[in-house]
Amino acid sequence: MKHMGKQTKLPLVWKVIGTVLVIFIIGFGGYHLFYQTDDAQPQTTTKQTTTNKKSIWNTDKNARLADFMDDWQTDMGQTYQSGTSKNQLDYFDLTLPTDLKNIEATINDDVTTLAWYQNKSKTANYQVVAIYGNTSNSNNRILYLFTIHNKKPVVLVTEQTNATSKLNFSVTSNTALKAGFSKIVSGKKAKYSSQTKESSSATISNNDSASSSGSSSSSTNSSSSTNKINSKEDAYNYLKAQNYDADGDTLIWTYDHTGSDEFGTFYFFTGIHQSTVDYNNEHGTDLTDHADTMVYQSGKIRDPYGGEFE
């Protein structure tokens, strides 16, 4: 008959230590089980905040640009629509941003590539973060692409009027747009104000009466204000009031048409020198020497061929 071996009993002290360890482990683990979400939330929030600050484009910056464009387009006298993944913009036969990948793009006739930033393309030269188009007038369509190129903000524009996937862009000359977009990309607030705009429109100093009355320069400067030209008649009278002529020879202006470009709505005039008119009348000839000009609603005068503002 076999005898069972004698069982070894644990000392009481080890039983006490084991019981304490079990209680500690259950208590500590239970605490984290119930409070894990609350503890982790501040860490997640901090990480998201840091990510948003470092992100070159996000929903907050997109909203800031939308607010900026609302003010800018109102002052320009134009209406722009944005193109997003959910609300596409129709530009001729293109649906944007979906068709960005189909555009054969050039910038000043140099071939380049475009991509919608949400698609996370690693090969496109320009990452398009926002799209705005003025497509209501088929004769004066304007398309802006707000892009990131080499980690820098660049605003591209085209006013191409033919329906094609081949679009030639240029970097916008509108300093208000460039400055506003740059601030937004850097994380700053950008508020468009007609009082601080640059080449997008003009601030006209009403100092004729002040200078004729011998007022000081300080009173002349304080009388400056922003005038608006709302009709071809206003534009014509403004041209005459400015004594706008070429080479000191008086020009006779004739209204041609109203148009719109990235600087706003303009009235296009053709001009002929008074000396040419006098010569024609004297010799029975029909000579012409057009001196075309564009008068913007803001009061800016621009050479349509030289492209410079007067």
pTM for the model stands at 0.57
- State the pLDDT at residue 183: 93
Rounded to 5 degrees, φ, ψ at 255 are -65, 140
Contacts of 82 (CB under 8 A, 6+ apart): 66, 69, 89, 130, 131, 132
Residue 170, pLDDT score:
92
Q: What pLDDT is attached to residue 34?
A: 38
Alpha-carbon separation of residue 140 from 143, 156, 260, 266, 306 (angstroms): 10, 16, 6, 11, 19
Residue-level pLDDT, tens digit, the chain, 310 residues: 445 455 555 566 666 677 767 666 656 555 444 334 333 444 544 454 444 556 889 999 999 999 999 998 888 778 899 999 999 999 888 999 999 989 999 998 899 999 999 888 889 999 999 999 987 666 668 899 999 999 999 999 998 877 678 899 999 988 889 999 999 999 988 888 654 444 443 333 333 333 333 333 333 333 333 457 878 878 887 877 776 665 556 777 888 888 878 888 888 888 777 777 777 788 888 777 767 888 888 888 888 876 666 6
Structure-derived torsion over alpha carbons of residues 79, 145, 267, 259, reported in degrees to the nearest 10: -70
DSSP-assigned letter for residue 297: T
- Cβ(200)–Cβ(72) below 8 Å: yes
Bridge partners of 83, per DSSP, are 131
Secondary structure class of 42 (helix, strand, coil)? helix
Q: What is the pLDDT of residue 14?
A: 66
Euclidean distance between CA atoms 162 and 141, whole angstroms: 10
Cα distance between residue 214 and residue 219, in whole Å: 10
pLDDT at residue 109, as a whole number: 87
Bridge partners (DSSP) of residue 294 are 268, 302
Tokens encoding 206: 């009403």
Question: From CA 53, how far away is CA 186, in angstroms rounded?
Answer: 9
Is the backbone of residue 216 left (phi > 0), alpha (psi -120 to 50) or beta? beta
